[in-house]
Structure 1
Amino acid sequence: MGLMDRQEIEALVKDYGSRVNEGRTIKELINDGEIPELKGCQIYEGKVSNCVYGDTLKTNDGIPIRLMYRSNRVSTHDQHRGTIPFKDQVLALNHHLMLELVKGILGSSQFKIPDLTPTSTVIAAENLSPIQFENVLRLYMAESSTSTSLYQHWLSGEREFCGHKLPNNLSPNGKLPYLMDTPSTKAKNDESVSPQYLFDKGICTEQEYMEIRNNSILVFGIILEHDRKKGMIPVDTKLEHGRNHKGEIVVMDEVFTLDSTRRWKLDLESGSFELDEQGRPKSYSKEFVRGMKFDSKTGLLSPKQELEVAVRYIETIQHISGKRFEPDLRPRDERIVESTNLILKHLGLKK
């Protein structure tokens, strides 16, 4: 079957959106005894995903395991904005496709689990020792309201950013002179910093940074060529890295997904970017959510807006994959339990 058109996607979201959002969280499932192997493990509840790890969660070889559970939550400006139907499955498939393209260079902490589908919202990986900075790469100076953005620094008159000299003739949403590495701290309030800051604070060595930087630039080029053929351009992205039990530096968490990577759509006839109602490049990423009007009291998206975001996410994954989106229509907790049991069985931890 061919790709779903917008009308089909809207019908899918309208008919099944509530259903796929239903179900208990992983914390509730563990507390209810649904997955006894995870009893006593630590649960980290993040803005858009939850992680489970602990002393008892190890492979037979003693490698520590981290289980990551994607949610349908969406956040902007460090604030929860709502729940987007199918978002967890879209990002899971997005991450799977991109990781297959880049893991030969960036490595991977994930365990290969037979029978686990690419849309499974549970990821099994080694619990890495994280390197405490976000590796941000920028090809364009995208307009952005976030405090760590190059655009906000340039707008305020600064002409040096993360160690890079900024020319005066840059333009909003214009291409940068070259692909810039612009690291950001991982803290309550993130801050864009120079690589030298990372060395001075003991976050990583110069040699480690150069390995991360050079490999990331290589894979950005791979994704650029992949996306260009699909009619899109990666504008900027965020990667995170950690050290595995062998001391190797590998990528962790998601790679080049809609939540971590801004993409703009190309007009294939003109070769220029498609524009939205405000005359800005049409964004196929979480970025367009930041431009929405939230409820003045709750700060949340309206139900109508949540469905609109879901449609955009599904449209984008079809562009990226070139294939029809085939979601699992069961409630979340059914999918979570099945995927977790597959993982535990394969890793020899199922009781």
Structure 2
Amino acid sequence: MSVERSTRVPFKEGHFSKIEKCYDEKKQITGDEVGLDNRTKGKVRDQYVYPNSIVLVTTDRQSGFDRSLASVPYKGAVLNQISNFWFDKTKHIIPNHIISVPHPNVTVGMKCTPFPIEMVVRSYMTGSTDTSIWKNYQSGVRNYCGIELPEGMTKNQKLWDVLFTPTTKDEHDRPISCEDIVSEGFMSKADLDYCKSKCLEVFKVGQEWASKRGLILVDTKFECGKDKEGNIRLIDEVMTPDSSRYWIKETYSERVENGQEPENIDKEFLRLWFRANCDPYKDEVLPEAPRELVCELSRRYVGLYEIITGEEFGFGNQDEKDIKDVIEKEAK
């Protein structure tokens, strides 16, 4: 399995040996060995609920197509710390749920009731999942989330505007219009209008910041919820490579003009590999992602962290016992 390594993602070679060692020694953080009873397991994050807070553990599990695809070294620490970076940078726009980040993989947050809607924001015609704008357009959909799409659009082209394209969080997610969100009782119009406005504003900050660092923030999903006082807060994760697509700005135009996929620093190329090697929605057993691909994905994640934050990634100790100690302190 040959994986293209982007030379435009700054990365120290000594880092890669740490990634390979973590992979070979199976030191990825899965969440399974924390060993506490009050765990609620999500696709990537595990939750531990206490009277005054909720503890979120971002693991190295890699999800896609509503499935577990792989375990990627250091991915959880990257996601958690990139989220914290964006939460801090956008807290003047919308309050968030952060109380503290006591460990690279752990966030202590306020207890909030999530809205049952993912606030998806898009600026390019792309995607490989069944809810994505490109997959729907490719199958003939021209009214997507209540938005009329013109004929003749092509994959990966820039949209005429930044679009708000929410999806439900049902057993099988589905694109939904703002009008239907209100009429079907998912959210009130006032709450939806507020969330839409703030998510678009946060996305704009992300795009401008990414552009200055040679990246294109293509799309992302946000989640919002209400705290016990009824205040709407930004929750979960913000503009991570799991919830977003990031492309290399310098090569975007040339690659698209030549019919190539944009250089990406997110999990899209892992999804594309599974699309090419199985039916990830229907096959009962999925093939194992190649070692080279998983390690390259880790390299891109760590590289993205360093591009966005301007700081060198701290690999630290991949030990779930440390996470258990942090959670138990929160419980006291």
- Using the alignment, how far apart are the partners of 2:77 and 2:320 within structure 1? 13
Residue of structure 2 in register with 1:12 after alignment: 18
- Using the alignment, how far apart are the partners of 1:23 and 1:92 within structure 2? 13
Residue of structure 2 in register with 1:106 after alignment: 94
Deviation readout 1:318-346 (Å, 9 max, x if unpaired): 11122211121x2331330243245x2xx
Residue of structure 1 in register with 2:51 after alignment: 58
Deviation readout 1:211-268 (Å, 9 max, x if unpaired): 011111111111111001110011110001111011011111001001001111111x
Residue 156 of structure 1, CA deviation = 2.1
In structure 1, what residue type is equivalent to 2:13?
Q
Q: Residues 120-269 of structure 1: matches in 2 within 5 Å?
A: 120-142=104-126, 144-267=127-250
- Using the alignment, how far apart are the partners of 2:79 and 2:93 within structure 1? 21
- Using the alignment, how far apart are the partners of 2:259 and 2:272 within structure 1? 10
Residue of structure 1 in register with 2:326 after alignment: 339
Residue 313 of structure 1, CA deviation = 1.2
* 1:21 matches 2:4: no
Q: Residues 59-74 of structure 1: matches in 2 within 5 Å?
A: 59=52, 65-74=53-62
Residue 66 of structure 1, CA deviation = 1.4
Residue of structure 2 in register with 1:45 after alignment: 41
- Give the secondary-structure state (helix, strand or coil) at the position aligned to 2:311: coil
The change in CA–CA distance for 1:19 and 1:105 in structure 2 (over 3 A counts) is farther
In structure 2, what residue type is equivalent to 1:85?
P
Contact 1:276/1:282, CA 8 A, preserved across alignment: no
Unaligned runs of 5+ in 1: 32-40, 60-64
Residue of structure 1 in register with 2:268 after alignment: 287
- Using the alignment, how far apart are the partners of 1:231 and 1:164 within structure 2? 30
Contact 2:30/2:61, CA 8 A, preserved across alignment: no
- Using the alignment, how far apart are the partners of 1:23 and 1:151 within structure 2? 33
Residue 6 of structure 1, CA deviation = 4.9
The change in CA–CA distance for 1:209 and 1:234 in structure 2 (over 3 A counts) is same
The change in CA–CA distance for 1:145 and 1:25 in structure 2 (over 3 A counts) is closer
Q: CA RMSD in A?
A: 2.5
- Give the secondary-structure state (helix, strand or coil) at the position aligned to 2:179: helix
Deviation readout 1:177-196 (Å, 9 max, x if unpaired): 11111110001110001011
* 1:321 matches 2:314: no
The change in CA–CA distance for 1:108 and 1:228 in structure 2 (over 3 A counts) is same
- Using the alignment, how far apart are the partners of 1:148 and 1:84 within structure 2? 24
- Using the alignment, how far apart are the partners of 2:321 and 2:255 within structure 1? 39
The change in CA–CA distance for 1:256 and 1:28 in structure 2 (over 3 A counts) is closer
Contact 1:275/1:282, CA 8 A, preserved across alignment: no
- Using the alignment, how far apart are the partners of 1:90 and 1:206 within structure 2? 35
Deviation readout 1:161-202 (Å, 9 max, x if unpaired): 111111224221011111111110001110001011111111
In structure 1, what residue type is equivalent to 2:321?
E
- Using the alignment, how far apart are the partners of 1:29 and 1:239 within structure 2? 30
- Using the alignment, how far apart are the partners of 1:242 and 1:97 within structure 2? 20
Deviation readout 1:73-100 (Å, 9 max, x if unpaired): 1121111111111111111111111111
- Using the alignment, how far apart are the partners of 1:263 and 1:22 within structure 2? 24
TM-score normalized with structure 1 length:
0.83
- Using the alignment, how far apart are the partners of 2:189 and 2:96 within structure 1? 22
**Alignment: residue pair count:** 317
Contact 1:264/1:273, CA 8 A, preserved across alignment: no
Residue of structure 2 in register with 1:303 after alignment: 291
- Using the alignment, how far apart are the partners of 2:189 and 2:86 within structure 1? 27
Flag the structure with larger Rg: 1
Residue of structure 1 in register with 2:282 after alignment: none
Residue 24 of structure 1, CA deviation = 7.8
Contact 1:80/1:300, CA 8 A, preserved across alignment: no
In structure 2, what residue type is equivalent to 1:44?
T
Residue of structure 2 in register with 1:35 after alignment: none
In structure 2, what residue type is equivalent to 1:340?
I
Residue 7 of structure 1, CA deviation = 2.4
TM-score normalized with structure 2 length:
0.87
